[in-house]
Amino acid sequence: MLLIQMSIQRKIINFPFRLVIGVLGIALIANGRTLCAQSPIESTKIVTPDSAFDALAEEYQQWRDFSFPESAIAHGRPTSPDRITEPGMRGALNRHNEIGYFIEKIASIDRAQLNSANQLDYDLLNRDLRNDFDSFRFKRWMMPVGQRGGPQQDLPQFSESVPFRQAADWENYVKRMTRLGAAVRDTQSMMEQGLEEGIVPPAAVLEGVIGQFESVLRGNLNEIETPLAHMPDSIPAAQQQSLREQARTAKLDALLALGEMLTWLKETYIPKGLKSISAKDQYLGTEYYAFELKRFTTTDLTPEEIHRIGLDEVARIRGEMLEVIARTDWFAADPARAKLSNDDRFNAFVEFLRSDPRFYHTSAESLLAGYRDVCKRIDAKLPEYFGVLPRLPYGVREIPRFMAPSQTTAYYQFGSMKAGLPGWFYANTYALDQRPKYEMIPLSLHEAVPGHHLQVSIANEVDGLREFRRDVDATAFVEGWALYAERLGISMGLYENPYDDFGRLLYEMWRACRLVVDTGMHAFGMSRDDAIAFLQRNTALSRLNIEREIDRYIGWPGQACGYKIGELEIRRIRSECEKRLGERFDLRAFHDHLLSAGPIPLNVLRTRMDAWCDGLLLQKGVAQPLAPNGG
């Protein structure tokens, strides 16, 4: 799973608190536009559709970086570094109005008159703008607190994506700190209004939130003061002391605000959480779920179609799992196991995996060291599969312990060469007896390389892309690529141990099950217990992991469907390119071209790879299109 602050996962782009503390007042934006206005000399130039779109794209990027300064700082882009994004209702409403302004501007440009590169950028920008604008009416932004996001997670990690290199960095950081308490209060005020309107999340999404708040408060938010422990000599000692005092005052105010929110959550908000887990029972629910499925899969597949694809994939993968079980020493150790029914053999094997201590680390340190070892093994394989590799390094670290109990197994957080920040693969070290070794290879391939770190970093480093193109809202591409990356481990020779190979299939099965339970819960009346039981029957995931996953799908309808839908389409495109090109097919060139446009919807990806094949085949005087998009 990808965790970033801006629009890749709108995941990442991910946690609602970051989304809602996000837009400036209209007067400030108007001032920003004035700064970008044409000079009298420039105004005499002939305005063409291409130049009009170029100006609009630049204005949009400046607005976005000014409106979301945290993301701009993390990407190393110019912004107002002493601000945080505008919190609460005013921020959300202003953002909606400003996006409407850009929709009107882009509609005034004749797309047909643009050059081909600008036509693609037009389509992608227009799609993102309209998705953002249309999603507003479902009022999900009024529910920013849950297991996977909120101020109780954002504040302790406030310094993690901030570069500190010159004196102004510390000064601006402290100025941003002084705004945190008010941001928490504005967020609570927005949630109070949402509660009055009946906009409240399912109770299941709020389980564990109280524990997160209490853990943060016990930790005293010491993390946000860490950058102030060591400042450069260029900052006079008296000023350093003043900055520390300001930071301490700001931290205390933020703690007070978090404490106030915790009391309100306990006494008022959480008791009113919805009993139903289904999106269809929420505000504009059926329409909302259809919208989210289309946005996250970048297709027009219906819930019924996605559910059927999931069931078919579950059946296929189950057959492959049984074949792998037959290659294990567990199977060979007892001839009676060959006589068991398929279901009984699978269940007995899964119970063995869950109970044998050889499959589990005994310390957080050894788990993290194991992930680092796997990642270095993968690093050495990359030149065989990619002609273009990112310059940005990445590291492995543990998920902060205050949030680990209610977090999933792992996630990735992007970095930036411009900002001087590495990428991070975060692994969960909570409950080690439920973090098996056989899942470490596919998880590393997914979160680090050649999954999220490689894909995101290449998008950030490729020349010629507009900034908004580097994180287009295309979950099916981003997560589909990461799931495809897990499969590359087969040809890399990483799954020679049958237990590791079973771990790969376990992770693929997990993503196939998501298609069934996500649509089942949100469209077809499947209960939380039924969804948990379905994953228990078909995966070796621990009960804890299954519960965290199901709660994630409840709180984030549709998102989990993007993984398998995207992976199936990428695999389908590769297979068809291999057939069309024959001996001309070069896997490294295929991967390089596929990643070089940044994240894009699946239909755009298919058109792009079709054109890539055409270009190679025209050298022989032969051209054949790819098969129609099957989903």
- Judgement on whether residues 219 and 319 belong to the same structural domain of the protein: no
Structural domain count, the chain: 2
485 located within any domain: yes
The C-alpha angle 71, 77, 82, rounded to 5 degrees, equals 65
412 located within any domain: yes
What DSSP string runs through 379-401? HTTGGGT-S---S--EEEEEPPT
For residue 396, the cross-strand partners are 425
- Judgement on whether residues 424 and 535 belong to the same structural domain of the protein: yes
Cβ burial of 583 (10 Å; 0-12, 13-18, 19+) is exposed
Task: Respond yes or no on whether the N-terminal peptide bond of residue 69 is cis (omega within 30° of 0).
Answer: no
Question: Given 562, 579, 595, which residue is the final one in a domain?
Answer: 562
CB 474 within 8 A of CB 482: no
- Judgement on whether residues 512 and 480 belong to the same structural domain of the protein: yes
Q: How far apart are CA 417 and CA 461, in angstroms?
A: 8
Residue length of the chain: 631
Half-sphere exposure of 553 (CA within 13 A, CB side): 31
The pLDDT of residue 14 is 33
570 located within any domain: no
Cα→Cα distances 19→60, 102, 598, 610, Å = 17, 18, 22, 35
77 located within any domain: no
Q: How far apart are CA 61 and CA 57, in angstroms?
A: 6
- Judgement on whether residues 388 and 484 belong to the same structural domain of the protein: yes
Question: Any long-range contacts for 298-305 (C-beta under 8 Å, 24+ apart)?
Answer: 298/474, 298/475, 298/476, 298/477, 298/562, 298/566, 298/601, 298/602, 298/603, 299/476, 299/565, 299/602, 299/603, 299/629, 299/631, 301/565, 301/631, 303/519, 303/522, 303/523, 303/524, 304/519, 304/523, 305/631
- Judgement on whether residues 171 and 314 belong to the same structural domain of the protein: no
Give me the amino acid identity at 25: G
Predicted TM-score of the model (pTM): 0.91
Q: How many CB atoms lie within 10 A of CB 55?
A: 16
Q: What is the CA radius of gyration of the chain?
A: 25
- Judgement on whether residues 423 and 514 belong to the same structural domain of the protein: yes
DSSP 8-state class, residue 113 = G
Q: How far apart are CA 356 and CA 378, in angstroms?
A: 27
510 located within any domain: yes
- Judgement on whether residues 241 and 317 belong to the same structural domain of the protein: no
Q: Which residue is listed with tokens 């070290």? A: 429
Helix (H) or strand (E) holding 427: strand 423-427
- Judgement on whether residues 220 and 321 belong to the same structural domain of the protein: no
Structure tokens at 26: 């209209």
Per the structure, the complete domain to which residue 535 belongs is given by 293-562
For residue 411, the cross-strand partners are 426
Average pLDDT of adjacent 10-residue blocks, the chain of 631 residues: 45 32 37 44 77 98 96 94 95 97 98 98 98 97 94 95 95 98 98 97 93 95 95 96 98 98 98 96 96 98 98 98 98 97 96 95 98 98 98 97 87 95 97 94 98 98 96 97 98 97 97 98 97 95 88 96 98 98 97 98 98 91 54 35
Q: How far apart are CA 402 and CA 213, in angstroms?
A: 8
DSSP 8-state class, residue 44 = G
- Judgement on whether residues 254 and 154 belong to the same structural domain of the protein: yes
List helix spans (H) across 326-363. 329-332, 342-355
DSSP 8-state class, residue 623 = -
Cα–Cα nearest to 255, from 151, 354, 173:
151
> In the chain, helix, strand, coil percent, each to 5?
65, 5, 30
106 located within any domain: no
The pLDDT of residue 408 is 84
169 located within any domain: yes
Half-sphere exposure of 138 (CA within 13 A, CB side): 21
The pLDDT of residue 27 is 38
At residue 411, the 3 state secondary structure works out as: strand
CB 495 within 8 A of CB 501: yes
283 located within any domain: no
DSSP 8-state class, residue 266 = I
- Judgement on whether residues 211 and 316 belong to the same structural domain of the protein: no
**What residues contact 399, with CB distance under 8 A and at least 6 apart?**
407, 410, 411, 426, 427, 428, 429, 430
Helix (H) or strand (E) holding 88: helix 88-107
- Judgement on whether residues 350 and 209 belong to the same structural domain of the protein: no
Question: Given 240, 275, 310, which residue is the final one in a domain?
Answer: 275
For residue 394, the cross-strand partners are 423
Q: How far apart are CA 258 and CA 274, in angstroms?
A: 23
Pairing type for strands 410-413 and 2-3 reads parallel
- Judgement on whether residues 432 and 383 belong to the same structural domain of the protein: yes
Pairing type for strands 394-398 and 2-3 reads unpaired
Cα→Cα distances 464→113, 139, 210, 596, Å = 21, 36, 46, 10
Question: Given 537, 562, 587, which residue is the final one in a domain?
Answer: 562
Cα–Cα nearest to 560, from 479, 453, 442:
479
Q: Count H helices, E strands: the chain?
A: 26, 4
State residue 495 phi and psi, 5-degree precision.
Answer: -110, 35
Sheet holding 423-427, edge to edge: 2-3, 410-413, 423-427, 394-398
Q: How far apart are CA 342 and CA 535, in angstroms?
A: 17
Give me the amino acid identity at 24: L
Q: How far apart are CA 108 and CA 98, in angstroms?
A: 16
